[in-house]
Amino acid sequence: MSSSHESDEPSFVRSQKGSQMLSYKSYTYYKIRESLTTCFWRCSLYKSHKCPGKVSTDKSTRSGLIVKITTDHNDHFSHLLKIEARKIRNKIKDDAVNLGANGRPVLVKQIVDSALEGVDEIVAGVLPTHDALTRQAKRAAKRAAKTSN
């Protein structure tokens, strides 16, 4: 139990590019600005996942950082799940369009099968059913077949 408590302590870390980051409660932050007394930090998933999470730290304390959460994070986990699910759906759609354009829409079921192969159960939980994905892929393939003729 003590190790999980330790990770709750704020600390400074270096990003791969060498800039200073703040690590706190399993989140990491980039510094966005600072005043004489305070540093303002933004969640490192701001750009990639539009997370609005922000904290500020007090520069005046020698004993340690005081972290104040000014804006809560979005739900990183469900956000990542949705992104993962969208990738799979996009892949199925792209493959279906290719098949349709190449006049082989009968293979649609196979691309859905292979796209779903090895997908984590949690990700599968936010995806439409296999049947629904197949129907969507078939529609996409048909549309592509029409436009390519």
Q: Which residues bind Zn ion (CB under 5 A)?
A: 43, 45, 51, 53, 73
Number of C-beta neighbours around residue 29 at 10 A: 26
- Distance of closest approach, residue 53 Cβ to Zn ion, in angstroms: 3
- Distance of closest approach, residue 1 Cβ to Zn ion, in angstroms: 25
Q: Quick one: 25 or 87, whose CB is closer to Zn ion?
A: 25
CA 124/CA 101 separation, integer angstroms? 28
Q: Quick one: 45 or 112, whose CB is closer to Zn ion?
A: 45
- Is residue 34 a contact partner of residue 55, using CB atoms and an 8 Å limit? no
Read off the DSSP letter of residue 106.
Answer: G
Q: Quick one: 55 or 140, whose CB is closer to Zn ion?
A: 55
Q: The dihedral of CA 14, 18, 21, 25: what is its sign?
A: negative
Q: Quick one: 73 or 138, whose CB is closer to Zn ion?
A: 73
Q: Residue 26, by phi and psi: left (phi above 0), alpha (psi -120 to 50) or beta?
A: left
- Distance of closest approach, residue 86 Cβ to Zn ion, in angstroms: 19
- Distance of closest approach, residue 129 Cβ to Zn ion, in angstroms: 31
Q: Quick one: 53 or 100, whose CB is closer to Zn ion?
A: 53
CA dist list (Å): 8 to 4, 54, 67, 100: 7, 16, 11, 52
- Distance of closest approach, residue 80 Cβ to Zn ion, in angstroms: 11
